[in-house]
Chain A
Amino acid sequence: MGVTLESDTESNMNEGQTLAKEPLSTLSAVPSPTLLASSPGLPPNPPDSTSEQGSKTKSVLRDLRKVSTQRIHRSERIFQGTLLVGGLFVLALFATVLGVSLVEAWPSITKFGWSFLWTSTWNPHRHIFGAWTYIVGTFWVTGIALLFAIPIAILSSLFLSDYSPKWLVGAVSTLMEMLAGIPSIVFGAFGIIFMVPLLRDQVEPFLANTLGRHWDFFNGDAMGYGILAAGLVVGIMVIPLVATVTRDSLVMVPRETVEASYALGSTKAEMVFFVKLPAVVPGIIGSVILGFGRAIGETMAVLLLIGNQASIPTSIQDVGYTISSLLANTFTYAVIDPLYSAAEIELGLILLVISLVVNTLGRELLMKLMGGRLAGSVGGG
Chain B
Amino acid sequence: MAENVLPEKGLSLYRKVRNALLGALTAVAFVLAVTPLLAIIYVAYDRGKAALSLSFLTTLPGGFPVGIEGGIANGIVGSLILIVIASLLSVPVGVWAGLYLWDQSHTPLAKATRLLSDLLLGVPSVIWGVVGFYVFSTNTGYGFHWGFSGLAAGLTLGFIMIPIVTRVTEQALRDVPRSYIEGALALGASRFQVVRGLAIPAAITGIGTGILLGVLNVLGQTAPLIFTNYYNTGIPKNLVGSNGSVGDLAMQIFIYIHEPSKGLHVKAMAAALVLTLIVLLLDMGIRLLAWGSRKYAQRMG
Q: Which residues of A contact B (CB under 8 A)?
A: 9-15, 17, 20, 24, 27-28, 31-36, 72, 75-76, 79-80, 83-87, 89-91, 93-94, 96-97, 100-101, 104, 151-156, 158-160, 162-164, 172, 174-179, 181-190, 192-194, 236, 239-240, 243, 262, 265, 267-270, 272-273, 293, 296-300, 304, 323-324, 327-328, 331-332, 335, 345, 348, 351-352, 355-356, 358-360, 363, 373-374, 378-381
Contacts and interface: CB of A to CB of B under 8 A. Distances in A.
B273 to A, nearest CB: 9
Contact of B3 (A177, A240, A268): A268
Given A156-B30, A190-B44, A267-B15, A83 B257 contact: no
Nearest to B226: A328
A378 B90 CA distance: 16
Contact of A269 (B18, B29, B44): B18
B26 A378 contact: no
B272 A185 contact: yes
11 contacts: A28-B188, A31-B188, A84-B104, A86-B100, A100-B134, A156-B34, A175-B34, A179-B37, A183-B250, A187-B40, A267-B16
Given A89-B96, A156-B32, A380-B124, A33 B188 contact: yes
B186 A27 contact: yes
Contacts of A24: 182, 185-186
Given A101-B127, A156-B30, A378-B121, A75 B192 contact: yes
B188 A356 contact: no
Interface of B: 2-3, 6-8, 11, 15-16, 18-23, 25-30, 32-34, 36-40, 43-44, 47, 93, 95-101, 103-107, 109-110, 112-113, 115-131, 133-135, 138, 159, 162-164, 166-167, 171, 174, 178-179, 181-182, 185-192, 195, 213, 216-217, 219-223, 226-227, 250, 253-254, 257-258, 265, 268-269, 272, 275-276, 279-280, 283-284, 287
Contacts of A83: 96, 99-100, 103-104
Contacts of B38: 179
Contact of B222 (A76, A160, A299): A299
A11 B104 CA distance: 9
Nearest to B192: A79
Contacts of B25: 155
A89 B190 contact: no
Secondary structure of the B contact surface, majority rule: helix
Contact of A87 (B6, B101, B186): B101
Identify which of A12, A87, A97, A193 gathers the most chain B CB atoms within 10 Å of its CB.
A87
A153 B109 contact: no
B268 A15 contact: no
A331 B227 CA distance: 8
A20 B179 CA distance: 9
A345 B166 CA distance: 28
B190 A75 contact: yes
Contacts of B104: 9, 12, 80, 83-84, 87
